[in-house]
Amino acid sequence: MSKLGPICHFLSPVSCDSLVLQGLMCERGAGVWLMMDLKDKVAVVTGAAQGLGRSFVEILLKNGSKVALIDVNKSVGNELKATLDEEYGRDRAEFYAADVSSEEDFKGVFEKIVEKFGRIDIVCNNAGIINEKHWEKTIAINLGGVVRGTYLALEHMKKENGGNGGVIVNIASMAGLGPLPVAPIYTATKHGVVGFSRAMAAVSKMVDYGVRINILCPWFVKTSLLSFLNSEEHTGIFFPLKGFTEMMMENHGCLEVDAVAKAFLVLVKDESKNGEVLMIEPEGAAFVSLPQWGKDFPSTPVSLQ
């Protein structure tokens, strides 16, 4: 997290212009803030083999980072590694097979990643599933995997451990901001990701870990995940409600992964952002103002007399 905050008064106008031109600085109001330079940074992405995770990997590579891909799907992950080697060279991306719901798996690959790349600057906890029937598994992956990935990231990134600081982006969903009736467990896990990540961002600021933690909340996106909405095995007792999400997509559309990747990059690069929730819908992206106790908590007084 940049300590420099608005830095224009510390730099000469020429330096400021140069930093803005390089996209390393953005001007906002009376001050300017640094934008993280992704060249040669080391990123970790979970659920990286396909869908949104693959789009986050590719936008990071396009911006000069090296990326460690983590996914439970070994075959698809190795195929993607081969594709990326062709496009970006053999030393820019590495695939690690692991289940984010397994402490042994996840901890082990983090250690291998640091051993190979020497550092970690960016972590995206993206892996997630839909399964309302086997809901314990959904909680273990969607929330447990994000908690574990955040804790492991901080162990390697926080300055008090000799880390370089950096940024963690946890992938929630619009279902992390409001309930999806077809998927109460999925909704619970995504609300958990939002709450946990906001709390951890506050801890990081208070203890000065030097690590920003932000949350991305996408609307429906065209990936394989949505195919599970048509599967009774995954939607369980809520299967009769499957038309509900189809209606939502008919009414409001469905995003492409590339649009979500651009929103992801905003949370990675803008060093003024910590504890921020960025939602993205077909209409566009916007930072969400969530209630905070003691501030603008929307409420209606009730008499207990």
Ligand X SMILES: NC(=O)C1=CN([C@@H]2O[C@H](COP(=O)(O)OP(=O)(O)OC[C@H]3O[C@@H](n4cnc5c(N)ncnc54)[C@H](O)[C@@H]3O)[C@@H](O)[C@H]2O)C=CC1
Ligand Y SMILES: CCCCCC(=O)CC\C=C/C=C/C=C/[C@@H](O)[C@@H](O)CCCC(=O)O
∠ CA 224-225-227 to the nearest 5 degrees? Answer: 70
Q: Which is nearer to ligand Y, 95 or 220 (CB)?
A: 220
Exposure letters 165-176 (e unless 16+ CB within 10 A, then b): bbbbbbbbbbbb
Query: Which residue's Cβ lies closest to ligand Y?
Result: 178
81 and 58 Cβ atoms separated by less than 8 Å:
no
Q: Which of residues 101-140 bind ligand Y (CB under 6 A)?
A: 130
Judged by CB under 6 A, which of 1, 32, 57, 72 binds ligand X? 72
126 binds ligand X (CB under 6 A): yes
201 binds ligand Y (CB under 6 A): no
Judged by CB under 6 A, which of 26, 202, 226, 248 binds ligand X? 226
- Choosing among ligand Y, ligand X, none, which partner's interface includes residue 123 (Cβ < 5 to 8 Å by kind)? none
Q: Which is nearer to ligand X, 28 or 262 (CB)?
A: 262
The counts of H helices and E strands in the chain are 10, 10
63 binds ligand X (CB under 6 A): no
Number of residues that bind ligand Y (CB under 6 A): 15
What is the residue-wise DSSP string for 136-163? Answer: HHHIIIIIIHHHHHHHHHHHHH-GGGT-
Task: Give the single-character DSSP code of 303.
Answer: -
What's the CA dihedral at 175, 215, 141, 199 to 10 degrees? -100
274 binds ligand Y (CB under 6 A): no
User: Distances in Å between the alpha carbon of 269 and those of 1, 7, 107, 154, 233?
Assistant: 10, 16, 26, 18, 39
128 binds ligand X (CB under 6 A): yes
Q: Residue 186 catalytic?
A: yes
What number of other Cβ atoms are within 10 A of residue 35's Cβ?
A: 21
Judged by CB under 6 A, which of 173, 197, 214, 274 binds ligand Y? 173
- Choosing among ligand Y, ligand X, none, which partner's interface includes residue 100 (Cβ < 5 to 8 Å by kind)? ligand X
Please tell me which residue in 88, 96, 151, 186 is annotated as part of the active site. Answer: 186
Stretch that binds ligand Y, among 117-125, 140-148, 172-180, 204-212 (CB under 6 A): 172-180
56 and 35 Cβ atoms separated by less than 8 Å:
no
196 binds ligand X (CB under 6 A): no
